[in-house]
Amino acid sequence: KAGVTQTPRYLIKTRGQQVTLSCSPISGHRSVSWYQQTPGQGLQFLFEYFSETQRNKGNFPGRFSGRQFSNSRSEMNVSTLELGDSALYLCASSRLQTDTEAFFGQGTRLTVV
Amino acid sequence: GESVGLHLPTLSVQEGDNSIINCAYSNSASDYFIWYKQESGKGPQFIIDIRSNMDKRQGQRVTVLLNKTVKHLSLQIAATQPGDSAVYFCAENRGAGNQFYFGTGTSLTVIP
């Protein structure tokens, strides 16, 4: 059974640009969550989608957005990139609506220059 | 913010010894917890979970203990191996979907 797949693995963008990251959850999983990981702040929750609906949102500016498709694949978008957006962006998938195992992908390493 | 921590605790153990990694969680309403292992350049890997109606759960070479009175979680690794070297995170779920709050992490180094 394939795990969580995130693409691309690495990305370099310039300040002011926008970026779209993709996540394919484990087959049968309907919940997808996104996290930002930095050395200074650790793992911080961005948002969660279940059945194409955003259910929870973390404390990030509106430049960070996401969506989920009918096949449960999810994308997150960051507009007007800032240097501080450089981070490892992680996607986790879960089978049920709540309180269930969350499995992570390898992440997308975003570098903003 | 929910996740704080510029300082990563470290733990060094001899190969073959048992390791104990501790985590204090913040919210008494948290009802589900997961321990993750993260190796350099990789995403967090699920190790073991526990629900708030339990105080102990065992897996292969790992045991998680939950003390709700003092809001404390621990991960015990038996017969620690070099491959166990990684950063270990505890994550808590407060019952609102699949949103997890992560601890700062503990860096475990196993000395051969």
Residue A42 forms contact with B (CB below 8 Å): yes
Q: How many Å lie between the alpha carbon of A72 and the closest alpha carbon of chain B?
A: 15
Using CA atoms of A45, A49, A50, A54 in order, give the dihedral in degrees to the nearest 10.
110
pLDDT above 70 for A1 = no
Confidence of residue A51 (pLDDT cuts 50, 70, 90): very high
Bridge partners of residue A33, in order along the sequence: A48, A92
pLDDT at residue A40, rounded to an integer: 84
Question: How far is CA B16 from its chain centroid?
Answer: 19
Interface test with B, best of A68, A98, A103 (most B CBs within 10 A): A98
**Count of CB atoms situated within 10 Å of the CB of A65:** 17
User: Using CB atoms, which residue from A4, A40, A56 is nearest to B99?
Assistant: A56
pLDDT at residue A98, rounded to an integer: 76
d(CA A34, CA A49): 9
Q: Quick check: B100 and A106 CB within 8 A? A: no
pLDDT at residue B2, rounded to an integer: 39
In the predicted model, what is the mean pLDDT of chain A? 95
pLDDT at residue B112, rounded to an integer: 92
In the predicted model, what is the mean pLDDT of chain B? 91
Q: In the 8-state DSSP scheme, what is residue B84?
A: G
Average pLDDT over residues A34-42: 92
pLDDT at residue A84, rounded to an integer: 96
With beta carbons under 8 A apart, name residues in chain B contacting A6: 43
Average pLDDT over residues B46-68: 96
Residue A66 forms contact with B (CB below 8 Å): no
Express as a percent the part of chain B with pLDDT over 90.
Answer: 81
pLDDT at residue B4, rounded to an integer: 37
- Cis previous bond, A8, omega within 30: yes
What are the start-end ranges of the E strands in chain B?
A: 10-14, 19-24, 32-38, 45-51, 56-58, 62-67, 72-77, 86-93, 100-102, 106-111
With beta carbons under 8 A apart, name residues in chain B contacting A4: 43
Average pLDDT over residues B7-21: 93
Residue A101 forms contact with B (CB below 8 Å): yes
Express as a percent the part of chain A with pLDDT over 70.
Answer: 99
pLDDT at residue B1, rounded to an integer: 35
User: Using CB atoms, which residue from B31, B97, B102 is nearest to A43?
Assistant: B102
Average pLDDT over residues A61-72: 97
Lowest mean pLDDT among A23-27, A37-41, B81-85: A37-41
User: Using CB atoms, which residue from A41, A56, A103 is nearest to B97?
Assistant: A56
With beta carbons under 8 A apart, name residues in chain B contacting A35: 102
Q: How far is CA A1 from CA A4, A25, A27, A72, B60, in A?
A: 10, 11, 8, 16, 21
User: B74: helix, coil or strand?
Assistant: strand
pLDDT at residue B96, rounded to an integer: 75
Residue B27 forms contact with A (CB below 8 Å): no
With beta carbons under 8 A apart, name residues in chain A contacting B6: 40
With beta carbons under 8 A apart, name residues in chain A contacting B5: 42
